[in-house]
Amino acid sequence: MAKIDTKLFERVGYNLGMSRLVKDMQYVDYVKTLKENIDKTKTYNKQQKDENPYGLPIEKMGRNERESSTQYIVGLSNQIKELGRITLGKNVIDAETGEKRKATKEDVENARNQMDKLDLQIKSHSDHLETKAQLMANLKDREIQKSATEGQILNYQAIQNNTQDQRFNEETNEYEWFDHTVNDYVPISKFNTGSAYDKTLEKTIDNNYIEVREMTTQLKYQNNPDNFKAISQNYVDKMQAFVKENPEAIKNLLFEKQDDSKVSGILDSYMQTYYNDRLTDDGLTYAMEQSGITSFEEYKNSELYDADLNRFKQSGEIDTQMFLNSYESMINNEFEKYLPEPEPEEKKTVVKTKTKKEKQSDYTDDGNVESSDSEEEVTAFAPTKESVTKYILANLDKFSFEESTIEAIRRGERPFDTLVSYINDPNYKAK
């Protein structure tokens, strides 16, 4: 297996050793710096070899890069060697006149600056090879997302099989890969395999649903549902900021979780446009008529839908506003779905409570309370959740609640209509 060509860098170090300037001038010790880098490389290679006895998974400099990188680096090192021969008082060739003259202090300083730039280019190319190797490793470690286009899939497979077509760009001194999404060579940083699926958007929507359902149990929203409007807009604003920073998140979610009921509703919004096109475009309408499709639901279960879904995937175009509109509708619908129906104003809730006399009555021999004609009927006009809760907790001996239900009532986790049903439903009364 090809490994990092340390001898190449050693040759560069030898040439750089020729660049020592006069002793009375400050200079950069290139040899020392490169030797340190070479030693680090050797240590790294040994470590990798020990950890991977059957071969390194990723090469910093593979066989297809060795020739180009060697020519480039050796060319730079030769330039450095020539610059290193410029010494104060020694003959040099004037760059403008082509005549021999004695090197000045300025000539030496200029030579040193040029050597610094060339040395930086060598280091930059080495870093580029490291970045390239790491990028390949990252791509090999992740799966292709379900929303990937055909071009992205081809790029991904090329990386997995080590068959990506590459060239050395002599203008940038970096390698480029052929990208099937644009049918051209691109810098490796622009190579398009799509993004790995990230669950952030999925989890955000799920958490928002839970929060909205919880709000429907709170009196401030039950008594005044308009209070939810500000909250709803806040959800939309946060979502808008997220998708702006993560433009591929929507498409990835739609295809990764298209069987999820929440996500499928959003996907329907996009596919409705394709369905409408088939209703208005003569060429597309014919296929609909031939298939006997007369509704969107029939369209969703047809081969035409699958074909349009693939068209949507390949286009890569996502209408962000359509997603935000669908998301806002989903949030509002969820709130309305779980919001309890308001109690009619004229409705009265009648409950019975023990009178003082009843509480103080004697018990019969069979353990039952003696009958009393002095039961007090308590009528509460338009009772509140707090008043009904207080009544239930004050008369727990009348009910057959489990401890978990009692704790939930105490925490205020039971909606108003549920509490009233407890009072009026004999199934909850103690036997």
Least confident of 55-59, 195-199, 315-319: 55-59
Look up residue 227 and give its two tokens.
């209070």
**Most confidently predicted of 77-81, 238-242, 289-293:** 238-242
| pLDDT tens sequence across 199-225 | 999 999 999 999 999 999 998 898 889
Q: Supply the DSSP symbol for 343.
A: P
Structure-token pair, residue 229 = 């409007």
pLDDT for 51 beyond 70 = no
Q: Which residue has the higher pLDDT, 193 or 65?
A: 193
Q: Is the pLDDT of residue 83 over 50?
A: yes
Residue 55 has pLDDT above 70, yes or no: no
CB-based contact 326:271 (threshold 8 Å) = no
SS3 content of the chain, % helix, strand, coil (to 5): 60, 10, 30
Helices 105-141 and 150-160: angle between axes, nearest 10 degrees: 100
Is pLDDT of 101 > 50?
Answer: yes
The per-residue pLDDT for range 393-420, each reduced to its tens digit, is 888 888 888 888 888 888 888 888 888 8
Q: Which residues is 353 bridged to in the sheet?
A: 376
Quick check: 228 and 221 in contact, CB under 8 A? yes
122 vs 257 pLDDT, higher one: 257
- Taking only the tens place, the pLDDT of each residue in 350-379 is 444 444 444 444 444 444 444 444 333 344
The residues near 36 (Cβ < 8 Å, ≥ 6 apart) are: none
Rounded percentage of the chain residues whose pLDDT exceeds 90: 30
At 359, list the tokens.
């509480």
> What pLDDT, on a 0 to 100 scale, did the predictor assign at position 283?
79
- Rounded to whole angstroms, the Cα distance separating 40 from 32 reads 12
Secondary structure string (H, E, C) spanning 12-29 = HHHHHHCCCCCCCCCCCC
pLDDT for 125 beyond 80: yes
Q: What is the identity of the amino acid at 264?
A: S
CB 393 within 8 A of CB 376: no
Q: Looking at per-residue confidence, does 59 or 186 come out higher?
A: 186
Q: What is the mean pLDDT of the chain?
A: 77
Q: What is the pLDDT of residues 257-314, one digit of tens each?
A: 998 988 998 999 999 999 999 988 877 888 888 889 999 999 999 999 999 999 999 9
